[in-house]
């Protein structure tokens, strides 16, 4: 689906094409960050559930590396919003599908990570309910 470009008055054709191309790159970047964060989060969740079998030593469960990695993935949400706003500034507007997609991916990411950590704690024999 090709997104609609909203031209800006007072620009030449060359400037319009450059602005449209820049807006499309920003929009693609926002989509890549949104989906990429979820995919990497799924891999980290699987690593937590597996007990860290395939994660590097510095990303094992209950290490500062894993905590920093999860925090970085959470901060990627800010980057995706920035890219989407830059795309809108360059004439590629944020659609209703985009407005629904981002909160859904955020919820999926959060529940996936928190659920895997909670399940790992139960599997390790820790009592979560007091």
pLDDT tens figures, 6-32: 888 888 999 999 999 999 999 999 999
Dihedral through CA 102, CA 107, CA 113, CA 114, nearest 10? 150
Q: pLDDT tier at 89 (50, 70, 90 boundaries)? A: very high
Q: Which residue has tokens 């991916």?
A: 105
**How many angstroms separate the Cα of 17 from the Cα of each of 21, 95, 98, 105?**
6, 21, 23, 31
Q: What is the DSSP letter of 124?
A: T
Rounded Cα distance between 45 and 60, Å, is 11
Q: pLDDT tier at 1 (50, 70, 90 boundaries)? A: low
pLDDT tens figures, 34-78: 999 999 989 888 888 887 677 777 777 778 888 888 888 888 889
């Amino acid at each position: 689906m090709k997104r609609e470009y909203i031209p800006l008055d007072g620009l030449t054709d060359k400037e319009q094409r450059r602005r449209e191309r820049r807006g499309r790159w920003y929009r693609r970047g926002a989509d890549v960050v949104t989906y990429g964060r979820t995919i990497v989060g799924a891999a980290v969740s699987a690593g937590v559930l597996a007990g860290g079998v395939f994660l590097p030593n510095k990303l094992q469960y209950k290490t500062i590396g894993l905590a920093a990695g999860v925090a970085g993935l959470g901060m990627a949400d800010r980057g995706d919003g920035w890219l989407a706003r830059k795309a809108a500034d360059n004439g590629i507007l944020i659609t209703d599908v985009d407005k629904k997609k981002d909160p859904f991916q955020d919820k999926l990411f959060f529940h996936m990570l928190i659920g895997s950590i909670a399940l790992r704690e139960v599997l390790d024999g820790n009592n979560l309910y007091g």
